[in-house]
Amino acid sequence: MNEQLNRFLERAADTLEVADLLLKHEYELALANRAYYAVFYCISALLLSEDVIAKSHEGARSKFHEFFVKTGRFDREISKLIARSAEARQSADYNMDIDITEEQARELLTDAHRFYQMTLDYFQKTTSQTTTK
């Protein structure tokens, strides 16, 4: 794997660790931000594996859908997970009237961990397919 791709995956892992701590200390709004960024870093790594660099978060999500969901490499349900994560982050960061419950925060964090693991599994699978050919 290339160095930049590894940096995205390391950043995702670090961000998930921070999100775990935020949940422990009941910082649900900050957790929404970190959970989303963990997902975003995974998307960035996946796109980089296709030599695609998006200019915006929305562009990255759109390109992920195009390259990974439409092609069947990731399930359509993942697009919903990403959309929920992006919406929660947007609300938590910019809507001063919003509150995120502990249950909602746990769901966001679970989704982010799940997407991170799916990303790692994808790279492991594609790496093993490349080496067996």
| 74-101 pLDDT per residue, tens | 999 999 999 999 999 999 999 999 999 9
In the predicted model, what is the mean pLDDT of residues 6-12?
Answer: 97
pTM over 0.85, yes/no: yes
pLDDT of residue 1: 57
- For tokens 């080496």, name the residue: 131
Q: Give 112: exposed, middle or buried? Use CB within 10 Å, 0-12, 13-18, 19+.
A: buried
CATH number among 1.20.1090.10, 1.20.120.330, 3.40.1190.20, 3.40.50.1820, domain 3-132? 1.20.120.330
Mean pLDDT computed over every residue of the chain: 95
The pLDDT-based confidence of 116 (bands split at 50, 70, 90) is very high
Name residue 87's amino acid.
E
Q: What is the dihedral of CA 42, 43, 49, 52, to 10 degrees?
A: -150
| pLDDT given at position 127 | 81
